[in-house]
Structure 1
Amino acid sequence: MDWIDSMAVLATPRIPTLRTPYNSANFPNSSNPPTRRTEPAMTPAAIRYSIRPSNPEAHLFEVRCTLPDPDPAGQRFALPAWIPGSYLIRDFARHVMAIRAEAGGQAVALDKINKHTWQAAPLATGGTLSVICEIYAWDLSVRGAHVDQTHAFFNGSSVFLRAHGHEHRRCLIELQRPIGQRFQDWRVATALPIAEGEKGAAGSDGFGLYQAADYDELIDHPVEMGTFTLAVFTACGVPHEVAISGRHDGDLARLTADLTRICEWQIRFFGQPAPMSRYVFLITAVGDAYGGLEHRASTALLCARDDLPYPGMKGTPERYRTFLGLCSHEYFHAWNVKRIKPAAFVAYNLDRENYTTLLWAFEGFTSYYDDLALLRCGVIKARDWLQLVAKTIDRVLSNPGRRRQTLAQSSFDAWTKYYRPDENTPNAVVSYYAKGALVALALDLTLRLGTENRKSLGCGSFRPRL
């Protein structure tokens, strides 16, 4: 077919350079991928963070970072310039309304040295330094932070300062309820591990103390606070939660039944045990929206309330099918990009762009398998899946940019082109999501054809059931 022939020219980038090839034995039943670093003889005291919606009406968080032994020459702190999974410089520090430092109850001079970095004045060795920020949060997306009188949501990259030189240090995080009787019904949904054994560990409503092994884990667990609806299910022995914020009349029994099938298929596809001990779907339902962002043991999703299944729904209508594809996509990322990743992302440089030519493999392959998983687990029929493939083909072939930009170029230029669309984008840019998915399909079909269906892109024993 013509679409495969034209695609083959751009399907030549090398197979991704991986941090660690995925194998279930490499990743024990934990939310944290392995890291290589030498442990010190004595474990230093944890960095302590606290966050509270201090003024929900004004969309403000108060965030505190306390470092027991700051750099005697003057400790530096910074907010990330971007969030992993969304390849655009977002400059989260622009939302800092006020910032100050103190030690022993006394103010400490704090100088801003670039757009997202501050340096505290030198302290005597052994002193404890705290930096307190007031952060504006009115970004109703999956990437930033949002707070009002109905709920609070944040990604750690938009609110938690990074202490330079202490990135591998253990963190303790206190999630605090906003002050006032009207917030007494609020609770917390997050995949952050509870700080078991610590005084003030999170209780049944979720407020209290959590922990993270290092800064990378700290910012990889989004948090929702509010009066969300909650449903639970188990997939291959792993507990999963679905927290939905916003008005909706979704059928949670139907949703969790379908998600169970999707999650179990993916866990078995990559090989048991799952790499996380618990997983959380954080869903915000609004009038009209669509988006998702992956994390190591959770995902943040934004959808229209009409995308959710309604009581008595028959079949799998297009809007619900699209939403399930989004859930499947972000869940697949728990392996493909969170545990299997390009070398350029080991480790993330949060101060600037991290360039890679391989987003076509990590996003494109995920886009291929997100809908295929719906078919394999029986949530949709073969006709539905073929219609989804046809739409992807039409999308790529109708885009003149496919003749201008290779998939490797599209991946590399995501920071300046794909995430910054303008009126000329269709003429100059090809989607590494859509065309990457077609490359995955072509490779899968080629492997099956060449091995009489004994081998496939994903698993040597995987056989089609179309």
Structure 2
Amino acid sequence: MIDYRIEVGDAHTHRFQVTMRVASPQPGQTLSLPVWIPGSYLVREFARHLSPIEATQGGQPVAVTPVDKCTWRVGNAGRGALTLRYEVYAFDTSVRTAFLDARRGFFNGTSLFLKAEGFEDQPQRVKITGLPKGWRVATALPAVKVNALGWGDYAAPNYDALIDHPVELGTFWHGEFTVRGVRHEFVVAGATDDFDGQRLLDDTRRICEAQIAFWHGRRKVPFDHYVFMLNVVDDGYGGLEHRQSTALICGRRDLPRTGRALNKDSYTTLLGLISHEYFHTWNVKRLKPVEFAPYDYTQENFTRMLWFFEGFTSYYDDQFLLRTGLIDAPTYLKLLSKTINQVLSTPGRLAYSVGQASFDAWTRYYRQDENTANATVSYYTKGSLVALALDLTLRQLPATVEGGQSPNLDGVMLRLWKLGRAITQADVAQALADEAGQVPPAQVFSAPASLDVLGRWRALLDAWTEGCDDLPLPALLRSQGVDWHTQAGSLPQRLGARIGERSGAQQVLAVMHGSVAEQMGLSTGDELLALGEWRIKRADDLAQWHDASRAQPLLVSRDQRVLTLTLPVLSATGGDTVVLTVANTPVDAQALTRRAAWLKA
């Protein structure tokens, strides 16, 4: 067994104190710390936050020698237990690492727990103690012996499990509910006194009930405890999935508050985040790509299937808000329109497939700059549209004799879940073919007639995930009785530039490849000074002073030098925004039936 002791000395120094004990170390025992955390695809070099490691064996100090950036080897002073002591600097408020101050503590095991090589499959035990007075502990780690505040001993069956259970510390709000025998805790740090915790708890319960029923029907759930950990800040958004918990972050204005009007859009975004991370409990934590079985914590783990594990989860997160009645169909279509517009405004989609974007997540998506929109496409948004296209394609097919209803993506997900193992893209194609029982509709995808059912579904999936053509969404949505409208985009959208306020000035944040902005010579970082004879100070000034009938001089500041560019006469189209609505014109009865099933009317 490997033992760890976590303590807080002086919280103002933002350092956790860690003591690790290896009862029967190997000669020249090797230790390592992960360089990345599963679910966040960037090498973060967590070892940079460790203090020098001190080691003793048999009461005598022994040398600790670095082997590489994340590995150490311990010399032998004799027989007996090996004890290691080190500190971890923790001052990152994100969900990915560790944080500690006088108000709150939080950590992921990937930031704190050294791995004793050769003992990773043995039981691991953690004692959490020495916390500030009144602080509580929240974690899904199985408790062995703890007090009323949660201080004490926790255990994990192996190192993988140990580092997949984040820990929240502090004086947080706490609520809980039970679904199908699974105790769900919800802890919230940093909320205002008028936070309506019961509303958030009730809405989260509905999501959990629906997703457990989706994955398990009436069967037993493979875990008995789950913890939502929400850190509330002035402005923030994000989440990271774990096998029995999730770490979340949101802005204070996103929360429901007693006696105050609810910001429906931001609260819906928060519920969508909760739904997304909870769905990951199955899709990526248990049903995972073969490249993640097992994880290699010392380097990047490449897969071309993040479009499935993140993209399909992004499709289902809002679907479950719709299915539970937390949003209505018009709101759902509005959210779907937003996703479609995000993808269509990304020139990178025409050059980089969503499969390649998945593979390049480590170097492109997680290292974003002003050129990211030209250099890749989001496997979250484009992946969710692949899920949408597949779902609507399946729903066009006639009902199967076996199921009595049209095939759909739900059936595909459950077929993959029942495999009980890590999956490949070939498994997804097989599940599509089995669910459909027939070839894809010819109007959706045309494949050589020589291919069998599986071959055609494999070809369709490859075309949509490894190709760069836009998906046939307008036709697919019309088949469900949903209209695809376009309306003129804003002036920056028609220009092909992203413009925002920086240091009190309107500045170009990004220029889209092939756009009018690129052709007229605009560059990222340009400060917009004036259009024609009018000064640009506010966000709407560019549109306010724009004369659509003629070219105009545009003054910009670049590296403190004033330049004059020419804003040409713009086309009436370009940068159009897609708006989805329930069709008002008559649609056939089959489309009405499909729409009712898809939008759960």
What TM-score, normalized to structure 2?
0.67
Alpha-carbon separation, structure 2, partners of 1:451 and 1:408: 30
The question of whether the paired residues in 1 share the 8 Å contact of 2:57 and 2:78 is answered with no
Pick from 225, 237, 245: which aligns with 1:278? 225
Q: What is the SS of the residue equivalent to 2:53?
A: strand
The gaps in structure 1 that reach 5 residues or longer are: 1-45, 196-200
Q: What is the SS of the residue equivalent to 1:458?
A: helix
Name the % identity: 50
- Correspondence for 2:200: 255
Alpha-carbon separation, structure 1, partners of 2:398 and 2:49: 55
- Correspondence for 2:512: none
Rg comparison, structure with higher value: 2
Alpha-carbon separation, structure 2, partners of 1:328 and 1:316: 18
The question of whether the paired residues in 1 share the 8 Å contact of 2:295 and 2:301 is answered with yes
- Correspondence for 1:7: none
Pick from 127, 133, 140: which aligns with 1:191? 140
Q: Deviations over 1:351-378 (max 9, x none)?
A: 0000000000000000000000000011
Alpha-carbon separation, structure 2, partners of 1:94 and 1:292: 23
- Correspondence for 1:457: 409
Alpha-carbon separation, structure 2, partners of 1:250 and 1:363: 30
Q: Deviations over 1:403-434 (max 9, x none)?
A: 01101100000001110011111111100000
Alpha-carbon separation, structure 1, partners of 2:123 and 2:233: 36
- Correspondence for 1:175: 128
Alpha-carbon separation, structure 1, partners of 2:597 and 2:178: 26
Deviation (angstroms), 1:450: 1.1
Alpha-carbon separation, structure 2, partners of 1:230 and 1:458: 33
- Correspondence for 1:81: 35
The answer to whether 1:132 aligns with 2:81 is no
Alpha-carbon separation, structure 1, partners of 2:249 and 2:87: 25
Deviation (angstroms), 1:151: 1.1
The question of whether the paired residues in 1 share the 8 Å contact of 2:256 and 2:262 is answered with no
The question of whether the paired residues in 1 share the 8 Å contact of 2:32 and 2:71 is answered with yes
Alpha-carbon separation, structure 2, partners of 1:238 and 1:306: 30
The question of whether the paired residues in 2 share the 8 Å contact of 1:135 and 1:159 is answered with yes
Alpha-carbon separation, structure 2, partners of 1:438 and 1:269: 21
Q: Deviations over 1:419-464 (max 9, x none)?
A: 0011111111100000000000010011111134522101389943
- Correspondence for 1:43: none
- Correspondence for 1:109: 63
Alpha-carbon separation, structure 2, partners of 1:315 and 1:53: 38
Q: Identify if the C-alpha distance between structure 1 residues 451 and 101 changes in structure 2 by more than 3 Å, giving closer, same or farther.
A: farther
Alpha-carbon separation, structure 1, partners of 2:369 and 2:393: 36
- Partner AA of 2:175 in structure 1: A
- Partner AA of 1:381 in structure 2: D
Pick from 204, 211, 216: which aligns with 1:266? 211
Q: What is the SS of the residue equivalent to 2:95?
A: coil
Deviation (angstroms), 1:237: 2.5
Q: Identify if the C-alpha distance between structure 1 residues 264 and 350 changes in structure 2 by more than 3 Å, giving closer, same or farther.
A: same
Deviation (angstroms), 1:323: 0.2
The question of whether the paired residues in 2 share the 8 Å contact of 1:71 and 1:122 is answered with no
The answer to whether 1:299 aligns with 2:246 is yes
- Correspondence for 2:151: 207
Higher RCO structure, 1 or 2 (CA under 8 Å, sep 6+) = 1
The answer to whether 1:222 aligns with 2:169 is no
The question of whether the paired residues in 1 share the 8 Å contact of 2:61 and 2:77 is answered with no
The answer to whether 1:122 aligns with 2:76 is yes
Q: What is the SS of the residue equivalent to 2:238?
A: strand
- Correspondence for 1:14: none
- Partner AA of 2:26 in structure 1: D
1:64-103 matched pairs, under 5 angstroms = 64-72=19-27, 74-103=28-57
- Correspondence for 2:14: 59
The gaps in structure 2 that reach 5 residues or longer are: 400-404, 415-595
- Partner AA of 2:373 in structure 1: P
The answer to whether 1:444 aligns with 2:399 is no
Deviation (angstroms), 1:53: 1.6
Deviation (angstroms), 1:157: 0.3
The question of whether the paired residues in 2 share the 8 Å contact of 1:66 and 1:128 is answered with yes
Deviation (angstroms), 1:275: 2.4
The question of whether the paired residues in 1 share the 8 Å contact of 2:58 and 2:77 is answered with no
The answer to whether 1:146 aligns with 2:93 is no
Alpha-carbon separation, structure 2, partners of 1:418 and 1:357: 13
Q: Identify if the C-alpha distance between structure 1 residues 247 and 264 changes in structure 2 by more than 3 Å, giving closer, same or farther.
A: closer
Q: What is the SS of the residue equivalent to 1:274?
A: coil
Range with bigger deviation, 244-253 or 390-399: 244-253
Instruction: Give aligned pairs, total.
Output: 410
- Partner AA of 1:215 in structure 2: Y
Q: What is the SS of the residue equivalent to 1:82?
A: coil
- Correspondence for 2:336: 389
Alpha-carbon separation, structure 2, partners of 1:343 and 1:411: 14
- Correspondence for 1:343: 290
- Partner AA of 1:193 in structure 2: P
Deviation (angstroms), 1:314: 6.5
- Partner AA of 1:455 in structure 2: P
Deviation (angstroms), 1:312: 4.3
- Partner AA of 2:224 in structure 1: S
Alpha-carbon separation, structure 1, partners of 2:101 and 2:52: 19
The question of whether the paired residues in 1 share the 8 Å contact of 2:142 and 2:155 is answered with yes
Alpha-carbon separation, structure 2, partners of 1:264 and 1:103: 51
The question of whether the paired residues in 2 share the 8 Å contact of 1:454 and 1:463 is answered with no
Deviation (angstroms), 1:140: 0.7
The answer to whether 1:333 aligns with 2:280 is yes
The answer to whether 1:155 aligns with 2:92 is no
- Correspondence for 1:10: none
Q: Identify if the C-alpha distance between structure 1 residues 315 and 144 changes in structure 2 by more than 3 Å, giving closer, same or farther.
A: closer
Pick from 377, 381, 390: which aligns with 2:324? 377
Q: Deviations over 1:118-162 (max 9, x none)?
A: 11002545x110111111100110000000001110000001000
Deviation (angstroms), 1:315: 7.1
- Correspondence for 1:6: none
Deviation (angstroms), 1:177: 2.8
The answer to whether 1:398 aligns with 2:345 is yes
The answer to whether 1:246 aligns with 2:190 is yes
1:313-324 matched pairs, under 5 angstroms = 317-324=264-271
The question of whether the paired residues in 2 share the 8 Å contact of 1:112 and 1:119 is answered with yes
Range with bigger deviation, 320-329 or 130-139: 130-139
- Correspondence for 2:549: none
- Partner AA of 1:238 in structure 2: V
